[in-house]
Amino acid sequence: MDTQLGSQPPLGPIHVHFVLLSGSLILDWAGPAEALRMANQRLRDASQPEAFALHFTGPQFEVASSVGAVISAIAPLPAELPERSWVVLVGQPGATIAVDTGETQSLLHWLRGLRLQTGQLELVTVCAGAVLAGHAGLLHGHRATTHHHHLDELRRVAGGCDVVENRVFVLDGAVSSSAGVTTGVDLFLHRIAAVCGPALAAQVAQSMVVALRRGPNDPELSPFLAHRNHLHPALHRVQDAVGQHPQANWSVARMAEVACASPRHLTRLFLIHAAIAPLQYLRRIRLDVAQAALRSGHNVTQAAHIAGFTSDTQLRRTWHQMGRPGTPSDAA
């Protein structure tokens, strides 16, 4: 696993198409769009290419949002989509989603022509955007969620969809769905982590002052994202540095230099704000890097070197101490 920012392969940006209708809930799309913009900014700051190209599209050139602000210069629904594209559908106010308007019928006609494929053309829904996808038949054979007020509606309109309750978001192949409003940011942070690496996603979450929440399909929150539910800038600097360069010769003293604090004060900050000791945090990060290297086909010695362990023996010892099942050799 490449722990540097922008670990995605050089395939060009993912084209993210936010579909806007009259009354679209502004937080459903503005929050995720800001997360993607911040991810691109982080990549530019690291002299790396942007990972996302943002587009705002819909049946009408100009619409009023849910709060009355008018959004103009909306691009027409494209006749063709770039190979690596996400289509993002968002919610609207009201107890149910009306689909009898001309603009919504135009959108549904366009959606029915999409052929979803993981890694090429994917669907992302926020809040009741899943209901629109259900009307278009895009959720058949998929698991999906939506805002709790629209769960029964989604069951009615999305035949063949396994509607999941009480989830922040659900990932199922080419379909990603979130429960609503702020959970759309959770979902996009998760997608940013998958494309750009968890270290960059953690930095975006920090910039947005968002607490990273565990995804519903994740068996465990990645150490890159764990222990980041705080607002202390010096501690975030240390965690960013360790996450980006876990192989470095880290010590508490060196971490303290990054934080511009004494080693004792840094240890206190870690325990108070991150609920973990500095070296324990470092071991968790290195173990996650090693485990990813093993899954990628490296042997134990190679994985230990990639992650910054002094030897495969140290990796095996840490593996056991951190309660990982089996041995590193089992994961290779």
Cβ atoms of 174 and 116 closer than 8 Å: yes
Query: What's the full length of the chain, in residues?
Result: 332
Q: Is 73 helix (H, G, I), strand (E, B) or coil?
A: coil
Q: How far apart are CA 179 and CA 146, in angstroms?
A: 4
Residue with tokens 């002094």: 310
Q: Which two tokens stand for residue 134?
A: 């259900």
Residue with tokens 């230099």: 257
Q: What is the pLDDT of residue 298?
A: 87
Residue with tokens 């050139």: 61
Q: Is 262 helix (H, G, I), strand (E, B) or coil?
A: coil
Q: Is 117 helix (H, G, I), strand (E, B) or coil?
A: strand
Q: What is the pLDDT of residue 5?
A: 45
Where does the chain hold its CATH 1.10.10.60 domain(s)?
A: 227-332
Beta bridge partner(s), residue 176 = 124, 171
Residue type at position 76: P
Residue 192 CB partners (closer than 8 Å, separation 6+): 35, 36, 39, 51, 200, 201, 204
Cβ atoms of 178 and 217 closer than 8 Å: no
Q: Which two tokens stand for residue 277?
A: 């000791």
Q: What is the pLDDT of residue 6?
A: 44
Cβ atoms of 205 and 217 closer than 8 Å: no
Q: How far apart are CA 95 and CA 97, in angstroms?
A: 7
Cβ atoms of 239 and 228 closer than 8 Å: yes
The counts of H helices and E strands in the chain are 13, 10
Where does the chain hold its CATH 3.40.50.880 domain(s)?
A: 14-199
Q: How far apart are CA 208 and CA 38, in angstroms?
A: 9
Q: What is the pLDDT of residue 222?
A: 62
Q: What is the pLDDT of residue 168?
A: 82
Q: Which two tokens stand for residue 115?
A: 């052929």
CATH of 227-332, one of 3.10.20.740, 1.10.10.60, 1.10.645.10, 1.10.40.30: 1.10.10.60
Cβ atoms of 93 and 27 closer than 8 Å: no
Q: What is the pLDDT of residue 215?
A: 55
Cβ atoms of 123 and 116 closer than 8 Å: yes
CA diameter of the chain: 66
Mean pLDDT by 10 residues, the chain (332 residues): 43 94 95 96 94 98 94 96 96 93 97 96 97 98 94 95 88 93 88 87 80 48 70 87 91 96 96 93 91 84 93 93 88 71
Q: What is the pLDDT of residue 297?
A: 80
Q: How far apart are CA 210 and CA 231, in angstroms?
A: 9
Q: How far apart are CA 36 and CA 51, in angstroms?
A: 8
Q: What is the pLDDT of residue 97?
A: 95
Domain 14-199 part of CATH 3.40.50.2000: no
Q: How far apart are CA 331 and CA 33, in angstroms?
A: 37
Q: DSSP E strands: which ranges in the chain?
A: 14-19, 52-57, 63-64, 70-71, 85-89, 121-126, 143-144, 162-163, 169-172, 175-178
244, with CB counted inside 10 A (0-12, 13-18, 19+), is middle
